[in-house]
A and B are shown apart, each in its own frame.
Chain A
């Protein structure tokens, strides 16, 4: 069988940084080929070459046996190569159907857009993806991330894709949505579509892939059938060493209560939340998407100030009506959406890391550039950010490295309470272990950590206590010892009826 696409000895550089070195890669029809590697290994770059966004400096690209030079993503689409990018690219103001058919809408004989055909086509595509509940006339901006992703996939399929490329499709999804996505991918594979699948989640790779290819620092390491590898062997291929512990939780002495919420509400979204957070403690919040976890964090951080209830810092009631007020109290928030809320992407790493403490870096209002540069260099070293240097633009970094920049920025404020919303989203195993270790270390130094995560293993592995939220309210609380996947999982869905209101 001829491969749908094949890369032969492809190299690519940005400036004098060689991002891909002599990489060979191919995808057969009806197979899921997983692409693995650390943050910045070159996965997205490889994908962009196949989808016509970038051109290889050396080597060749073959589509169904024919050597081609793809002038644009449009040409790649014309050849049946469809891509769902790491950062979703839909137009929020347009409807689902319009997004799906953007650029290739069905036409009437007169050349006008054939609306009925477009809507019924969109409907059929979504149905084939088991998304019967998704309305084709809704504006995309109103959809959840999971649904937006289904629209992206439908869009890819609307152009008769022979190859579907998915760059970290589940990074932003909750477990249940991620499982649904896997079903969709399997169904496409059975139709004979070839799939390139990038993910940092190991279970998915084993559940889905037929073959895996590992990249490290832009170099090709190996391509193996999934049966010949184990999680351990993949990790050591990726990072060049083995990782002993993904959840390096250390027991720390808990200090005094730093943050306390008493019946805090924000409109109808956050309802009577009470919680206490002590120095040295990691408090995990589990819950489904839409359960009010992020909204609670935003209330503590002053983005959506509390409309009733009381917040106490060090036992004293405080008013937090803006992020600036929260920051002044030593509260830091690593947001859920790094592109929108966390980073100023057109600016440099240096400018991003210093942004939240810029007034502290200034003397007589003038920014101390030397100290700022030093802070950036230290952070790059401390967090292992892969970059050319402090002056590189953040938008040029790989997804995982962008996340590290957001973390670095907030750690630089030397907070007393650190709220982390999906802290390891899109981060590779190696970096994940590093971030977990860092979290443990910071807690050990007396930082109070509030961690929101959709990855249950992460919540259970890292937390001293686990709160479960549902419908904007805290519905259960577990100590580390009692927090089993079953107990927490059933409290998250309505099935669990244990209603221990937020205690202590």
Chain B
């Protein structure tokens, strides 16, 4: 894919987004208020964080279904480390993120060492990590976190929700890595033709390992932010989260077959999805209706993407 056709997909997304926002603004006068917008940003930060490494994963032609479970596991362990083991909270937070990374590394090892297709490998760890989370928590929730901890999920820094700063920083880093570095180039090459990537002397296994580890680490981080936002931990946190994440990425123009996709696209896809969700909620549409609309938009985006890539090479 050339830069030009990337931009074309993103232009169309942007247009869709503008249309959606206009429609939503007309539906409800509460939509275009600073409060609502900032609140929406807060709500989408966790999915947004997860969508960044997921873009890498899908660009390699893989998938990570286990992010929601890793998220739940890290959340539970944060509570256990702090409340159960009595560790200082900052240390517990760091350990929770680390556990996410280790869980991701586990995915990567299964996929690269034993050549298990990512779909199967992460489907298995989706069950495994969720099972661990439930086993550890015994359905008990942890509450009573200290006040300073809520800055992360409920506070503001320089007028913006704290987690938005995390999202922005990691998004910029991800965009640079994917777009401009050898690591990013390797990621695209693996997705477009893994055999040729290997025959070119690129380190395919290491690249994949790093990507899945990164996916786990970010899931750990998102879990800590989430716990801070909702002030409690429970074992079913993040159930089904992977669907939102994958939807945002695919909506953003990343090809599910690999080799194609950008961080900017993912961010646009994320915002579009969040706008639809909140707009529909404000308009009084119930949860099921929202899912239907998002499904339709997703299909439209995929069809559009197919059409574009076909025009692209004549």
Interface size on B, residues (CB 8 A): 26
Decide if A341 touches B183 in the complex (CB within 8 Å). no
Q: Mark B172-205, 1 if CB is under 8 A from A, else 0.
A: 0000100011110110110011011111111100
Residue of B2, B182, B193, B314 near A358 (CB, 8 A) is B182
Q: Is A482 an interface residue (CB 8 A)?
A: no
Residue of A341, A344, A348, A409 near B2 (CB, 8 A) is A348
Decide if A323 touches B189 in the complex (CB within 8 Å). no
Q: Is B130 an interface residue (CB 8 A)?
A: no
Decide if B181 touches A341 in the complex (CB within 8 Å). no
Q: Mark A132-152, 1 if CB is under 8 A from B, else 0.
A: 000000000000000000000
Residue of A323, A365, A367, A395 near B200 (CB, 8 A) is A323
A-chain residues with CB within 8 Å of residue B188 when the two chains form the complex: 344, 347, 351
Decide if B192 touches A341 in the complex (CB within 8 Å). no
Decide if B1 touches A346 in the complex (CB within 8 Å). yes
| A-B pair number, CB within 8 angstroms | 84
Residue of A15, A323, A327, A347 near B192 (CB, 8 A) is A347
Q: Is A393 an interface residue (CB 8 A)?
A: yes
Q: Is B313 an interface residue (CB 8 A)?
A: yes
Q: Is B305 an interface residue (CB 8 A)?
A: no
Decide if B201 touches A324 in the complex (CB within 8 Å). yes
Residue of B nearest to A393 (CB): B313
B-chain residues with CB within 8 Å of residue A362 when the two chains form the complex: 181-182
Question: Which residues 221-273 in B have Cβ within 8 Å of A in the complex?
Answer: 259-260
A-chain residues with CB within 8 Å of residue B197 when the two chains form the complex: 344, 355
- Contact residues of A: prevailing secondary structure: mixed
Decide if B182 touches A365 in the complex (CB within 8 Å). yes
Decide if B189 touches A324 in the complex (CB within 8 Å). no
B-chain residues with CB within 8 Å of residue A343 when the two chains form the complex: 193, 196
Interface size class, chain A: 20 to 34
Pick the most buried of B199, B203, B313: most chain A CB atoms within 10 A of its CB: B199
Residue of A nearest to B1 (CB): A346
Q: Is A303 an interface residue (CB 8 A)?
A: yes
Residue of B180, B189, B203, B313 near A355 (CB, 8 A) is B189
A-chain residues with CB within 8 Å of residue B189 when the two chains form the complex: 344, 347, 351, 355
Pick the most buried of B189, B201, B259: most chain A CB atoms within 10 A of its CB: B201
A335–B197 CA distance with the chains assembled, in angstroms: 12
Decide if A355 touches B202 in the complex (CB within 8 Å). yes
B-chain residues with CB within 8 Å of residue A348 when the two chains form the complex: 2
A-chain residues with CB within 8 Å of residue B193 when the two chains form the complex: 340, 343-346
Given contacts A365-B181, A365-B183, contact A323 B201 (CB under 8 A): yes
Residue of B1, B185, B203, B313 near A324 (CB, 8 A) is B203
Decide if A367 touches B185 in the complex (CB within 8 Å). yes
Given contacts A326-B201, A356-B201, contact A367 B2 (CB under 8 A): no
Q: Is A359 an interface residue (CB 8 A)?
A: yes
A256–B15 CA distance with the chains assembled, in angstroms: 64
Q: Is A1 an interface residue (CB 8 A)?
A: no
Q: Is A110 an interface residue (CB 8 A)?
A: no
Q: List 14 A–B pairs whose Cβ atoms lie within 8 Å, in order of A's numbering.
A: A323-B199, A324-B201, A343-B193, A344-B192, A344-B193, A346-B1, A346-B259, A351-B185, A355-B189, A356-B201, A358-B186, A362-B181, A366-B176, A395-B313
What 13 additional pairs, Cβ within 8 angstroms, besides A324-B203, A342-B199, A355-B200? A322-B201, A323-B199, A333-B199, A342-B196, A344-B188, A346-B259, A351-B185, A355-B196, A355-B202, A359-B182, A366-B181, A367-B185, A409-B200
* Contact surface of B with A, Cβ cutoff 8 Å: 1-2, 176, 180-183, 185-186, 188-189, 192-193, 195-203, 259-260, 313-314
The 3 closest A-B pairs by CB, nearest first: A327-B201, A323-B201, A324-B201
